[in-house]
Amino acid sequence: MESAFVWDPLRKKSVRNTPEEAVRQWFISVLHEGMKVPEHMMGSEVAIKHGAKEYRADIVVYARSAEPVMVVECKRPEVTLDQAVVDQALRYNNELNVRYIAITNGAKTFIFQRKDEGWEFMQKAPAWEEMQ
């Protein structure tokens, strides 16, 4: 039986275990174990003000300099990763000015790197050291 709550190592508290939260926690482990991002260099549910609106980025990865380098948008597994999801991550980027954007629904993950004036799909996830 699944627990109603799951421990978020970034927020240092138990949070409701929704389908989106399960994807977020899975991707935090991908960032930490696979991409070697130190836990203290990530934020979960990061408040971002864009104009008069306030949003919450699912995950923000920070460089050693404490500047944001990646924003991650997590969706429930049944949500299609379409242009609307990319646009949501790009809205966050208007305030964060990151070099990497990731979108994931747990089944599929797409990572993009800023190139000149646009974004380029990455075949392989960058390690945290490469993001500096």
- At position 124, the amino acid (one-letter code) is K
Range of the domain at 124: 18-131
Compute how many other C-beta atoms are within 10 angstroms of the C-beta atom of residue 96: 20
Q: Is residue 37 part of a domain?
A: yes
The pair of three-digit structure tokens given for residue 24, joined into one six-digit string = 């977020």
Q: Is the per-residue pLDDT at 2 higher than 80? A: no
52 band by pLDDT with thresholds 50, 70 and 90: confident
The pair of three-digit structure tokens given for residue 79, joined into one six-digit string = 């949500």
Q: What is the pLDDT of residues 80-126, one digit of tens each?
A: 999 999 999 999 998 999 999 999 999 999 999 999 889 999 999 99
* H-helix or E-strand spanning residue 96: helix 83-96
Q: Return the CATH number at 124.
A: 3.90.1570.30
Quote the mean pLDDT of the chain: 95
Structural domain count of the chain: 1
- At position 111, the amino acid (one-letter code) is I
Question: Looking at residue 50, what DSSP letter applies?
Answer: E
